[in-house]
Structure 1
Amino acid sequence: MATFLYRTGRWAFRWRRLVTFLWLAVLAGTGFAAAQAPAPPDDGFALPGLESQRAYDLMDERFPDSGAHGASARLVFVAPDGEKVTATRHKAAIEKLVVEAGGGSQVVQAVDPFRAQAVSADGSTAYSTVTFEAEAADLTEASREHLERAVARARDTGLTVETGGDALATQPAEGRSAEAVGLLVASVVLLVTFGSMAAAGLPLLTAVIGVGIGMTGVTALGSTFGLSPTTGTLASMLGLACGIDYALFVVSRYREERGRGHVPREAAALATGTAGSAVLFAGLTVVIALAGLTVAGIPMLTKMGLTAAGAVVVAVLICLTLVPALLGFWPDAVLARRTRRKARGAKGAERDHGGTEDNRGSRWARLVVRRPLPVLLLGVVGLGALAVPAAGLRLGMPGAEAEPTSTTERRAYDALAEGFGPGFNGPLSIVVDTEGTDDPEAAVEMISRRIAATDGIVSVSPARFNEARDTAVVTAVPSTAPTDAATIDLVKTLRGDRPAVEVRVGATYRITGSTAVNIDFAEKCRSALVPYLTVVVGLAVVLLLLVFRSLLVPLKAALGYLLSVLAALGAVVMVFQHGYGAELIGLEQTGPIMSMMPIFLVGIVFGLAMDYEVFLVSRVREAYVHGERPGQAVVSGFRSSSRVVVAAALIMTAVFSGFVGSVESMIKVIGFGLAVAILFDAFVVRMAVVPAVLALLGDRAWRLPRRLERLLPDLDVEGGRLTREHPTVVPSPDLTRIR
């Protein structure tokens, strides 16, 4: 593999104009296709096989003309303090608004709250539902503006009017601010690491090209494969972070090879063959982890995983071809200014014969090697303590309650909860299938009475039958909020009592509604988490066994990865579920953690943790294979790779942290979880726990049974063969070592 990539890098360096033109042509082509593509679909997900989804499917089949797929707006009216919405002037204003709203184009109906008894017991709050014939994405601006003008006129009368639903949903205007923040911090880190504007700019340039290709590709294929804008968010995150990191590793190795005396073309080829091999393996682990999200059986999660995997593939290909090509245009510009200055002054006496000078990485590693047990205990106990809150992890899907209070959707949610009770925002829909029943009305009535008698149910609406009278829908309002643990228990109770009820009435029923859908979704994600984690950890052990040809090193890597993931989950629970430090990141509402977040965290952090493991430990193994004692090999490996790994981790953290500022709670929690996971894994596990364990194990870390050694292929990820075939040359004055 290293030899093949060596030749690839050498070819790309030589034919740099062609390679650069081809990549720019791909970017232009995907950009043109994206511009011509139809608008992507709205966000949404299906849950095949789950009860709530089957109930929705039955409603679609039995109520074909119900307008269930049309957009809706819920208008919430709140009277001034001390007044009631039933007062003459307030009632007149509300009725006028309902009439105006009902006269809009694309409107199916607007419900009068006074006729529908949609007024709170204390008279302070009322609501009206406006239903449209078209979905939210297909509503015309004229339809939206007509309703908005009617709402504005009602507000002028002194009423507080808030709007919920998807018809007038607030669209967050975030632009690309998250990526901009990540790029800014990455630029600073790269400049400090390399000491060269060109060296800092090259990884940023290639990463931006890769993200551009990935995101325009998502847009171009959006309508074909149902890829929404949210689907591409994860691809944008990982494409940018991995693109910068992978290019960083290759450019750093190129500078090192130049410092060892190789001419630019040879240095670029060696960098692609050595660091490029590690990049290919690291990218493969990320792709496998993301593609493995398909095991959850959730279409939306599958799309996000495969889209992000595609972005990582693009990042790897660009790193292995475009990076060496661009190095061909500026072979000396990526060298540190001090190095170029020394070359011009012919101060080449200070030469590199293998990079034996101490730096911060080697000094840190030497400290750990001298005191491995205290460092190991401190790291494990610290991360273990942070992981404890993860035991109380609660999963759910954020709704309007997670929106900022500055949005009208959140204020409408709060007004309804205060006026009608916390469970009003998450009613349960009971879909009763009476096909083949002798007396459908009696069967539905018995089911309604049984549900109404269940503890935790506040009210049950009259049944609504379809035209064929073989299906009815009943709405039950819980006494607790949609994300409350008591509501989850209530749904489980209703489903647990169902078999006995169905036997008595001779009809079947299913529970759905947004609350039940979210509960089912969270349970599906929870049940998929352990199998997915098992697959990922098992994959880590197998891959590292192939790379390092050792039994204990892969085991150590997998356990360290588990520790960092659990610690990150614990930190997420402390902030997003319990609210510690929530104000620091602009989190206004705590509650259950987004259902998909733990699976994302497990998959993505696995790939990135293996990146750092490979780049660090491969250099340690290289030193050990060349005859150094175990402790000294750790010091030598960290001398060569720790600075680049630290820079890569800081860049990853910066990119993910940029998404913490998102107003969407889903993006915020993913960004926070990934950022802290990278910090824990890179700086605690890889930089402290790993060298401590290697120092304690000594020679045993690199042992492998002979029979297994003969069976395993030699991947040569660290490029040992290339090092032997292309030995270090004595550097001339213009090839001084990079510091």
Structure 2
Amino acid sequence: MAKLLFKLGKWAGSNSKKVLALFMLSIVVLGGIAINMGMSFNGGTSMPGTESKEAMEILSKEFSSGESLGEVHIVFKAGENESLDSEKNSSAIKELLDVIKQDDTVKSVETPAELGNINPEKQIGYAIVTYDTVADNVTEESKKLVEDNLDITRNSGMETGLAGSVEFEKTQAGGGPGEIAGVIIAYVILAITFASFLIAGMPILTALIGLGIGILLILIGTNYFDISSVSLTLAGMLGLAVGIDYALFIFSRFKQQLKKGYSVKDSVAIANGTAGNAVVFAGITVIIALIGLSVVKIPFITTMGLATAVVVLLSIIVAIIVVPAILGLVGHRIHPEKSNSFLRKITRANTKTNSNKWGKFVTRHPFLVAIVGITTLVTLAIPFFHLNLGLPNNGDKPYEFAEREGYDLLAEGYGEGFHSTLVVIADPLNINDTTEDNIEQLSKKISELDDVKTVTPAMPNQASDKFIMNVTPENGPTDPETKEIVKEIRELSDEHSIKVMVTGSTAVNIDVTAQIMDALPNFAMFIVVFAFVLMMVVFRSILVPLKAVLGFVLSIAATLGFTVLVVQDGNLIDIFGFPGTSAVLFLLPVLCIGILFGLAMDYEVFLVSRMREEYIYTKNAKQAVLTGMKENGAVITAAGLIMIAVFSGFIFSHDPTIKQMGLGLAFGVLFDAFVVRMAIVPAVMTMMGSAAWYIPKWLDRILPNFDIEGETIMKEFSQNEYKERNVS
């Protein structure tokens, strides 16, 4: 692979304009296809084979008269000491609804008084606006008409919010101020690293090329596969981060070769054959981790992993083809004498003040560093043990959003359980004279369960062979008590020869989170075993892979524990912009394990492979650690900071799903790159000494040999250079 990449780099560097033109043309062509075909995201989270999915199909078939039309619930709360049905408030509500009626797509409008849903305190109620199409097809113009006219009732003194099946705030894939700030910070880090404002933009440019092609492929793919909009966000987040990092590794190696006196052309080829080889290996590791999400056996998570893997694959291709092409064009600008004088001063000052002081400190006090690092991560991991998973809802959105206001008003007026209503389907196995009595007994047992607020009378379907009732819990949709109610109702199945099924959005969410928690141990085991075997092949050692795996387990536990500490327990929520506490995003554990595994192995390979190279040459274990920290530590530090900057930009998104993903990935990189790889790993390697590199001879013989650092390239290149000098 190293030789092939060496030749590819040499060709790309010599044909820069052709390569760049080809990729630009690809973006234009794919962009045209994407615009022509449009996009069709599917945001569903249900899973085939679950009871809630089966019950949902029965509900649709037996109790539905057709497709559910889109509804907007406009929630009102009267002012203090006022009644919602007063003449003043009724008039304001009528005025608002009369304006909305002007929309030709509105099928019907019903006031709170007509619906009879005003709460006992006479302060809160909601109107229902029904459209002539399904919720996903309600136009932005219709939504804007509703939002723009809410001031009619607000100005009259009523609090007004929104609810219903029509979404007003959808997940967007980046582009906000936080994401832009993250890219700017990455640019500053690159500018200091390369001492050049021009060169600093090159890794970002190449990352955007790979990201652009990957995103366009996903948009086209939405017409053929069920892909959620969150997949696009995750792909954008990870694609941008790894794209910049992969380009950084190749640019840095190119710069090292220039300093050694190699020509621009030779430096491009060597950088691609060495660092490019490591990039391919690291990228494939990330891709395997993303494909490994299929182990969870949840379709939309599998699709999410595959879609993101496509973007990472494009990032690898761009890194080993487009990056050499750009270096062939602007490589001469990376020479120190061509660098920006201001940035060069910063870089030199940084080099002087950080002449491997951290590496020397770690190797002098390895036990102290290891204990502090491990204790820190273990402490942060403690909250993980009361992890509560759930799907985000309108109650997780910022307070200024009308949907958040509507959610809070409904909870205030009707209780938290209003948002967690369960649909229970009773299917008698035999219809007889006692069926009606058995259904009544079932209803009574459900109503007597702890934390159940109300149960509606059982209603039969048209054939009178199945019955439906709505159960309203006392608590919210992600509360443990609500999950317990679902479990207890399902346990009533087969009593009186009745099959009992529970569905509805709350039950579906409970089934999804339960499936993830059940699959999590298998997925984690797959990742751990794969990591151990991979590291054993790369480093020809038993203890180094064991240390790498245990370090990853520590960092992922600390990441999930910290997320629980913030999101679920409510600590530091003001700093990160969370409007309040909520359940942890149901897919966050598998995403963090899959993605952070790939990134962790990236940093492990770049750091420890240099230590191994030095140890093979000197047989001095401590010196090997110092060399690895000095030569590759700075690059890993820059790469980690860039990752954190990009991921952190997503923390300040308004969407609760994106916020949690940004938080988990940003702090995951922080813990793994800086606590594990830059502190615990060198400390433990120092304490293990030469034993770290032990491997039984029989095992060494049967393991395949991967030249990750491209050592054969450097040897052959040096030999050819020596021959050429002798001939001349």
Which TM-score bucket, shorter chain as reference?
Answer: over 0.9
Task: Indicate whether 1:437 and 2:431 are aligned.
Answer: yes
Q: Which residue of 1 aligns with 2:346?
A: none
Residues 156-177 of structure 1 show CA distances to partners (whole Å, capped at 9, x for unaligned) of: 6544332212326235786343
CA distance in 2 between counterparts of 1:294 and 1:172 reads: 23
Q: Secondary structure at the match of 2:331?
A: coil
DSSP-derived class of the 1:333 partner? helix
**Against the structure 1 CA distance between its residues 143 and 466, is the aligned structure 2 distance closer, same or farther, given a 3 Å change threshold?**
farther
Greater shift, 151-160 or 219-228, is seen at 151-160
Cα offset for 1:379? 1.0
Q: Distance in 1 between matches of 2:211 and 2:278?
A: 21
Mapped partners of 1:149, 1:583: distance in 2? 29
For 1:50-83, what per-residue CA distance to the aligned partner results, in whole angstroms no more than 9, with x for missing partners?
Answer: 1111111111222342433x32212222222112
For residues 55-74 of structure 1, the aligned pairs below 5 Å read: 55-68=55-68, 70-74=69-73
Residues 226, 300 of structure 2: 8 Å contact kept: no
Q: Give the match for residue 503 of structure 1.
A: 495
- Once the two structures are superposed, residues 599-652 of structure 1 have per-residue CA deviations (whole angstroms, 9 ceiling, x without a partner) of 111111100010100001111111111124111111112221111110000000
C-alpha distance in structure 2 between counterparts of 1:150 and 1:629, whole Å? 74
Distance of aligned partners of 1:683 and 1:123 in 2 relative to their CA distance in 1, 3 Å threshold = same
Indicate how the Cα distance of structure 1 residues 599 and 402 shifts in structure 2: closer, same or farther if over 3 A, else same.
same
The aligned counterpart of 2:573 is 582
State the AA in 1 paired with 2:165. Answer: D
Kindly indicate whether the alpha-carbon contact (under 8 Å) linking 1:426 and 1:481 is maintained by their aligned counterparts in 2. Answer: yes
- The 3 A distance-change label for structure 1 pair 14 and 91 is closer
**Structure 1 contact 196–337 (Cα < 8 Å) conserved:** no
For 1:653 and 1:147, the matched residues in 2 are separated by: 39
What is aligned with 2:409?
A: 415
- Whether 1:635 aligns to 2:629 is no
Q: Which residue of 2 aligns with 1:472?
A: 467
Return the offset for 1:89.
4.6
Give the secondary structure class of the aligned counterpart of 2:233. helix
Partner of 2:452: 457
Give the aligned length. Answer: 711
Look up the match of 1:679.
Answer: 670
Is the partner of 1:75 in helix, strand or coil?
strand
Q: Is the 8 Å Cα contact of residues 195 and 337 (structure 1) preserved in structure 2? A: no
Contact 1:253 1:275 in 2 (8 A): yes
Alignment of 1:241-280 (within 5 A): 241-280=241-280
Shift of 1:572: 0.8
Q: Matched residue of 1:511: which SS?
A: strand
Please tell me whether residue 483 in structure 1 is matched to residue 478 in structure 2.
yes
Deviation at 1:105, TM superposition (A): 4.1
Indicate if the aligned counterparts of 2:46 and 2:512 stay in contact, CA closer than 8 A. Answer: no
CA contact (8 A) 1:37 1:221 kept: no
AA matched with 1:582: I
Alpha-carbon distance in 1 for matches of 2:356, 2:438: 77
Paired residue secondary structure (1:74):
strand
Structure 1 position 122, deviation (Å): 1.6
Deviations 1:380-416, CA, capped at 9 Å, x for gaps:
1111111111112111111111111111111111111
Deviation at 1:115, TM superposition (A): 5.1
| CA 623–64 in structure 1, closer or farther in 2 if over 3 Å, else same | same
CA distance in 1, matches of 2:272, 2:713: 11
Q: Secondary structure at the match of 2:718?
A: coil
Are the structure 2 counterparts of residues 282 and 466 from structure 1 closer, same or farther at C-alpha, using a change threshold of 3 Å?
same
Secondary structure of the residue aligned to 1:126 is strand
Q: Aligned pair 1:695/2:663, yes or no? A: no
* 366, 381, 387: which one aligns with 1:387: 381
Query: 8 Å contact 2:248–2:639 — kept in the other structure?
Result: yes
Whole-Å separation in 1 of the counterparts to 2:326 and 2:141:
51
Other-structure match for 2:197: 197
630, 633, 655: which is aligned to 2:646?
655
Is the alpha carbon distance of 1:508 and 1:105 closer, same or farther for their aligned partners in structure 2, counting shifts above 3 Å?
farther
Specify the alignment match of 2:612 in structure 1. 621
2:596 corresponds to 1:601:
no
Cα distance, 1:140 vs. partner?
A: 3.7
CA displacement 1:496-553 (0-9 Å, x = unmatched): 2x13xx331x332211122212211111111121111111111111111111111111
The whole-number CA distance in structure 2 between the counterparts of 1:28 and 1:426 is: 46
Separation of aligned partners in 1, 2:54 and 2:415 = 28
Counterpart AA for 1:224 = Y
* Equivalent runs, 1:49-128 vs 2, <5 Å: 49-68=49-68, 70-91=69-90, 94=93, 105-107=104-106, 109-111=108-110, 113-114=112-113, 116-128=115-127
Q: Confirm or deny: 8 A CA contact 1:429 1:474 kept in the other structure.
A: yes
Deviates more, 1:529-538 or 1:168-177: 168-177
The SS at the match of 1:468 is: coil
* Cα distance change, pair 168–375 in 1 and its aligned pair in 2 (3 A): closer
Q: CA deviation at 1:434?
A: 4.4
- The residue that corresponds to 1:427 in the other structure is 421
Q: RMSD of the alignment, in Å?
A: 2.5
Distance (Å, rounded) in 2 between the aligned partners of 1:728 and 1:633:
25
Structure 1 distance, partners of 2:145, 2:363, is 72
Matched, 1:281 2:281: yes
**Per-residue displacement from partner, 1:649-700 (whole Å, max 9, x unpaired)?**
0000000000011011111111011111111111111111111111111111
- TM-score normalised by length of structure 2: 0.92
Compared CA separation, residues 155 and 567, structure 1 to 2 (3 A): closer
2:293 maps to 1:293: yes
Matching residue of 1:344: none
Look up the SS of the partner of 1:330 in the other structure: helix
Q: Please say if residues 538 and 708 of structure 2, whose CA atoms lie closer than 8 Å, have aligned partners that are also in contact.
A: yes
Percent identity over the alignment is: 37
Counterpart of 2:196 in structure 1: which amino acid? S
8 A contact 2:210–2:311 mirrored in 1: yes
Query: What's the CA shift string for 1:37-57, capped at 9, x where partnerless?
Result: 223235222211111111111
Segment drifting more, 464-473 vs 585-594: 464-473
Structure 2 Cα separation of the partners of residues 665 and 193 of structure 1: 34
Q: Please give the alpha-carbon distance, in whole angstroms, between the structure 1 residues aligned to 2:110 and 2:67.
A: 14
Match of 1:550 among 541, 549, 558: 541
Unaligned runs of 5+ in 2: 342-350, 723-728
Deviation, structure 1 residue 34: 1.7
Offset, 1:106: 4.3
Alignment CA distance shift 1:41-1:551 (3 Å)? same
C-alpha distance 669-168 of structure 1, shift in aligned 2 (>3 A): closer
Whether the 8 Å contact between 1:245 and 1:651 is mirrored in structure 2 is yes
Task: From 557, 579, 582, give the equivalent of 1:591.
Answer: 582
Given that 1:481 and 1:487 are in contact with CA atoms closer than 8 Å, whether structure 2 keeps it comes out as: yes
AA aligned opposite 2:618: G
Offset at residue 103 of structure 1 (A): 8.3
Shift of 1:465: 3.4
SS at match of 1:385: helix
The Cα shift of 1:95 comes to 6.6
User: For the Cα contact (< 8 Å) 1:361–1:643, is it kept in 2?
Assistant: no
Unaligned runs of 5+ in 1: 342-356, 732-739
Structure-to-structure mapping, 1:212-223, within 5 angstroms: 212-223=212-223
Shift of 1:147: 5.2
